[in-house]
Structure formats: structure tokens, C-alpha cells
Structure 1
Amino acid sequence: MHEGRVKTWDLWVRLTHWTVAGIVAWNLFGPTDATHRVLGYIAAGLVGVRIVWGFVGTRYARFSAWWPTPAHLIDYVRSLARGKPMHHLSHNPLGGLMAIALWLLILALGVSGWLMRLDAFWGEDWPQELHTILSIMLELCVSVHIAAALLMSVWTRENLIGAMLTGFRRSVPENKKAPQKRGPS
């Protein structure tokens, strides 16, 4: 077993995360051909299913476990400013905000890519321009997401990337564990 660890990310969350990540990498840096379109629609579909899973999925996959409310965001940012980030088994509030931003961008890219193919917009430049702007925004958000996962892994001494591979996270942060009881001296 995994002593001191909690199964946080179920198989569906991990599969959708890494599949969408792979598709996004391919579509941002690969050719814009028929494969690009199909993969874009698959990514948007997977995001749609992941959103449904946020309502009906396992405990830590549900929005109720990590939705970034203003109060949660303020508390978390304050903990960062104090240099002692609060431990969350699911997404921390900023991570949750980033997940939502990434999902919205992927959905918007799917829609803008579809609009570019419609006869109604044949010869129009704005769908392509919108798609390009959204892809740049996605690149920026992905870069921040990766940098934050690496930074927080080092800062909190918890391998967040490994957790997204295995599904397990530390149940209690090391700096929050109860002190060891001492025997008679």
C-alpha cells in the first residue's frame, strides 16, 4: 500500500489529462492538417466528458472538491505570501482556476476551428484570427501550468507530476505532521 498517501486522481482523470496534454502539444507544434482538426475535436470532446466527470466522478475529481471560490483563492494566495502554501488533496485554488482556463480555451479552440470550416464564414478572416489568438493564449497557459507544477513540486516537496501519473498524493504535508511524542528522559 501507499502509507501516508491518498488515491486522489482516478484513472479517468489521469487518462484525460495526459491524452489532452499530448493532443495539445501535437496541435500547438505540429502541422495544421486534417489530423490537427480531428485531434482538436477529440480534445474538446474529452474536455466535455471531463467536465461531466466533475459533477459525477470520484471524490477528488468533482468540482465540489476543488472549485476555486473567491474565499478559497484569497486564503490560498495569503498562504503563498506567508511562504507556507496550504496543502490540498485535489487542485489548489490557483490550480483549479488554471484547469478551468485551459478547458475553456480548448473548447473555444474546438468551436473556432469548426467555425473556420463553415461555408457561412468562407473568406472571413476573423475565425482564423480568433483561433490563432486562442492558441497563443493556450500556449501561455500551458507554459504557466507546467512551470507552476514544477515550482510547487519543489516548494512543497511533493511530486505533483508523479501524482498525476500514479494517482497518489501525500495525505498530510510533512510540515503539518504531528510532532513525535517523546518518552521519559
Structure 2
Amino acid sequence: MVKIWDILVRVFHWSLVASFAIAWVTADEWQDLHEWAGYAAGALIAFRLVWGLVGTHFARFAQFVRAPWHIAAYLRDIVNGREARYLGHNPAGGLMILALIFSMAALCLTGWLYTTDVFWGEEWVEETHEALANVLLALVGVHVLGVLIASYRHDENLVRAMITGKKRPPQAADIVD
């Protein structure tokens, strides 16, 4: 096994999962807990933005953010059942990370705005916040589906890899960069 994701990436990932789940469950019942979960998510996103610039190799955005044409080609390869295995995040996974980070950042921003004097009670802020939460939930579903498909297609447990940080060593056809 080879180490791919450092402890900070893994703690970030699972902490963000927990903060979003807590915020989702407490949205209409426990406002204080909901807000604290939102603040935690916002802090986690701020951390990940920094770690994406200065972190370990596989944590850096430069390692997994790909050009649109590259992502499109990879998605075509998935449909055709011939996508390459990437040691780090594949192009679709990289796009999903960006979508999740930006959606979560927007969700945190609208949640915070709703607590300010200027935007308190503004219906459009609340509706935008709720819409973003639903978009994020859909993205999470697509993310989980992608993880399951990639795990199956490459005979690799990606959930375990995000817990241990380790994946099987690259083979000749795998993309390592």
C-alpha cells in the first residue's frame, strides 16, 4: 500500500461530512447547533483552501484540478468503461471536490449572512441558503455514487482509502502524477 492522502485531508473530509450532516439534521430544530456546525464547515473550507495550495502532493489543487476538456474525456471514458485509474483524485473527482468546496462555501456564506443585521429576515437569503443545501446534498449523492463506481471499476475500496490514506500501488496503466 502507498500513502496518498495525509491525515489533514482525511480529518478535513470526515469533519466536513459530520458538520454538514449535523447542520442538515438540526436545520429546523436546534438553531445554535446548526449555526455552530455551519461555522465549523466554514472553518474547514478555509483550511482546505489553504491546504490545497501548500499541502502535501495529493492535497494540492495543482495535482487534481484538470482542464475542462480533460474532464470531459474522462467522463466519456467512464461511460465507455475504459477510464484510467488515478493514484490520487481522477479528473471527475477533482471537479467534484471543487463543486463541493464552492457550494459549501456559498452555503456557509448565506447562512452567516442570515445572522447579520443587514440580512436578518431577508427571504431571498434564506431561500438561497436552503437551495444551496439541497444542491450540496445532491452533489454529495453524486460524489458517493462516483466513489462507488470507481471503487468497483478499479477493484479498490476508496472509502477505506479515505480513512487510512492508503491505496494499492500503481500499476503500469495507472496515472500517478
When normalised by structure 1's length, the TM-score is: 0.87
Aligned to 1:156: 154
For 1:1-185, list aligned pairs within 5 A. Answer: 5-30=1-26, 31-173=29-171, 176=173
Q: 1:27 Cα deviation (Å)?
A: 1.2
Aligned residue identity for 1:6? V
Amino acid paired to 2:161 = A
Count of aligned pairs between the two proteins: 172
Give how far 1:29 is off: 2.1
Gaps of 5+ in 1: 178-185
On the 8 A contact 1:115/1:127 being kept in 2, the answer is yes
Cα pair 1:9 1:60 within 8 Å, conserved? yes
Identity in percent: 39
1:157 partner letter: D
TM-score by structure 2 length? 0.90
Partner SS, residue 106 of structure 1: helix
Task: Report the Cα offset of residue 34 of structure 1.
Answer: 0.6
Give 1:32 shift: 4.4
Give the Cα separation in 2 of the matches to 1:139 and 1:153: 21
Deviation at 1:70, TM superposition (A): 1.7
Q: 1:59 to 1:136 in 2, by over 3 A?
A: same
| SS of equivalent to 2:170 | coil
Letter in 2 for 1:66: F
Higher Rg? 1
The separation in 2 between residues aligned to 1:68 and 1:29, in whole angstroms, is 34
Cα distance between partner residues in 2 of 1:165 and 1:122: 39
CA RMSD in angstroms, aligned pairs only: 1.6
Whole-Å Cα distance in 2 between the matches of residues 73 and 16 of structure 1? Answer: 25
1:104-126 CA-to-partner distances (Å, cap 9, x unmatched) read 11111111011111111233211
Query: Partner amino acid for 2:8?
Result: W
Please state how far the C-alpha of 1:139 moved relative to its aligned partner. Answer: 0.7
